Structure 1
């Protein structure tokens, strides 16, 4: 199956990315209905030129993107792998692709935010070298957020 994986670099305007983000949002609001009002403002899909979509055969099954956080740092956003293909290392593939792309563009660090119930996600990020750090803006004071950082 992994030999049929294809990665496409694109923008947030790609219809497959938009569809995957809808699935991501649905899964988050299902898992965290009580947080929707706190996080909705941080969940805006702005135009982003740094999007990766992962395909198995011709089906879009995963995505992620990054945006500039500061002059040396990117923020990983919108990481998602469809439930039916989880456990195959696809999230690590997406993450490596995003980090490599950011490094090529001259960035030295990556930060990200996830939610406290995302135990498998936190474990994935730690396995790939991220350390938990104090919450950064705009997650300051949001107790449900876990912020992480790593050099790339």
Structure 2
């Protein structure tokens, strides 16, 4: 396995994000996904991306973007279904935290769906705590927002 640091323009990241969108469409519903989330999941502002590969197969990804001077927002964390339960999500998040710290951030925030129980569990294990919904997620009862001081 290899950890790759790249950016939101990396085609491998784009492809895995398309797979993530299909996965979310199945869980949340395509119409709801498009109406509520797609406009916030664009890749152009994600300048820091982590990929985990095994030979030529990209197994996991995640990135972050600037939210404010001290806070980075974690975006597009995904592990392929056949690669889950091997700690790859944790590895991606650990790398995101390292890069964010090097860039001077003090906090990580994220949004996950209420239906994504596995993601919520992983984030809690990594030290994230539920906070009031921020930004575009305010008033969205299907969003769970979390924060970690790093």
Instruction: State TM-score, norm by structure 2.
Output: 0.95
Counterpart residue number, 2:107: 109
Residue 30 (structure 1) aligned to one of 23, 26, 30: 26
- Measure the CA separation in 1 of the matches of 2:46 and 2:127: 25
How many residues align? The count is 148
Kindly provide the CA deviation profile for residues 83-115 of structure 1, in whole angstroms up to 9, marking residues without a partner as x.
001000000000000011000111000000000
- Measure the CA separation in 2 of the matches of 1:47 and 1:14: 13
Which secondary structure does the structure 1 equivalent of 2:136 belong to? coil
Counterpart residue number, 1:72: 70
Q: Which runs of 5+ in 1 are unaligned?
A: none
- Measure the CA separation in 1 of the matches of 2:41 and 2:8: 13
Q: Which runs of 5+ in 2 are unaligned?
A: none
- Measure the CA separation in 2 of the matches of 1:100 and 1:116: 27
Q: CA RMSD for the aligned pairs?
A: 1.0
Counterpart residue number, 2:16: 20
Counterpart residue number, 1:95: 93
C-alpha deviation, 1:48, in angstroms: 2.5
Cα contact 1:11–1:47 (8 A) shared by 2: no
What stretches of structure 1 move > 2 A for 4+ residues in a row?
none
Counterpart residue number, 1:85: 83
Which secondary structure does the structure 2 equivalent of 1:78 belong to? strand
Instruction: State TM-score, norm by structure 1.
Output: 0.94
